[in-house]
Structure 1
Amino acid sequence: MTVEWLSNMSSTFDRGTRTVGATVDRNISKIIGMGTALVAVNILVMLGLSYTPIAPLGAALFSSFFVGIAVFAVSVGGGFWIATKGVERGNMGLAGAGVLLIQGGYGLFGAAILYIYGGGGIRIPALGITTVITGAITAVIATVVFKSNYDFSGWQRYAFGCFIGGLVVGAAGVFLSPLLVVVAGLLFFLGFIVDLTYEIWAVRENRYASDLRNAIGIYVAVMGVFVHVLQWVLRILSMLDQ
């Protein structure tokens, strides 16, 4: 995501950390590189789409809580499932198709956010600020995970619980109070934070044999954090720009 972030991450994952053999140490740079590349491409995709007619279409879709959740679940959730199955079966075509679906889902969501809140030439500065903040969050989580002996194996379930809680609270908010929709957004953000923690722990423990699977998992979680931070950054910058 940034040169500084990569440097911090690499120093965090030194040979003194608790890993499963030297092979994991040698593969970490590859995992970081692949995950960072996927994130960087997705940021460029959402920026490019924000200047096309796809952006207002995305804004219309995500203006409805239920439609937005469905689109996000099918694209990002479905893409992750397809990509994971492709990696497990050694089918890189299937894995690539899943990644493209994820890129499209996050690209559409990010473009919609930039279109709604990113007027007045603040899109690129907002993306830059969001990249730094997301990189810092990721680096902090990685440091905590790799410098501790804590077992984060159950955090994937906790992340799922946050997502389900966000869905339930958001659905209630549609009928009861817009404030609940805001709370739902915070639960989704927390879910991605927890999921990112799990995915980094999975790298530490060599949970998945494939570097690509690790990279995709981290990429999906990082982008989930990224799009939430982007919304807040854009809103703050738009208020300051007025």
Structure 2
Amino acid sequence: MSKRDVVFLASALREKGDRITDCLGPHAACGLSVGLGQSRNPKEWPNEDSVALHALPDGGTLGIVADAHWGGGAGESVVRHARDAFVLSPGASPLDKLRATLRAVDARLQQERFGMDRSETTALLVYLKGRQASYLSVGDSLLLQLSGDRCHMRNPPSGRFPLPFMGTHPMAKLPARVHPDGGTLELRAGELLVLATDGLEEGTATIDPSQLPSLFRGSAPIEEHVQLLLERADDPERGGGRDNLGVVALRVE
């Protein structure tokens, strides 16, 4: 029986240099890295990023990255509940379902918060089926489209959504017409979508998004490309590994 889900929670990695990767078949993989360098921002947990990959009953794939801070609890809640919320969410289109999903996940997050938990998180969700991808994004995680030798960022923050992160303010208090940044992409066979937390940004990693097309080139299994990305980003002698890094890679068939 083929694997249907991969979920990596922030709390699974506890030491500098810890890394983990896995795949869903030949076209989807994900990974987490704590980072070997000195963190550029204070952290309550050694690793505060969480990622997930799900093969859905309708034949689509759902990828999620969540970059939390002040602890990883909020990000863990997002990746734990997004799959079931998406399957159960109403919506005439995948983008509508993603919007309903994020509101449902946020409601669950608000219920789960207790005690001194002040964590908040980015949330980047991508649903890929065939050669069409829909996405929804809160915060500054990166959605990158790799096409040939080019890398395009597809989710620059528009500034229209009032919440910079999920967790501290319930989305239920926002008007129903107010949505996070999102959209739908028409893709070509062989292209890749890479979801990444900001551990891939300049000043944090030893590679930048423009280098990803060459890094993912070749016939090696997609999980090996993700492993290589985590390794290349994490070179403290060259200024890398200064933040946790969570990655999901989806190859278009």
Which structure has the bigger radius of gyration?
A: 1
As a proportion of its length, which structure holds more helix?
Answer: 1
As a proportion of its length, which structure holds more strand?
Answer: 2
Same fold (TM over 0.5): no
State the TM-score, normalized to the length of structure 1.
Answer: 0.33
State the TM-score, normalized to the length of structure 2.
Answer: 0.32
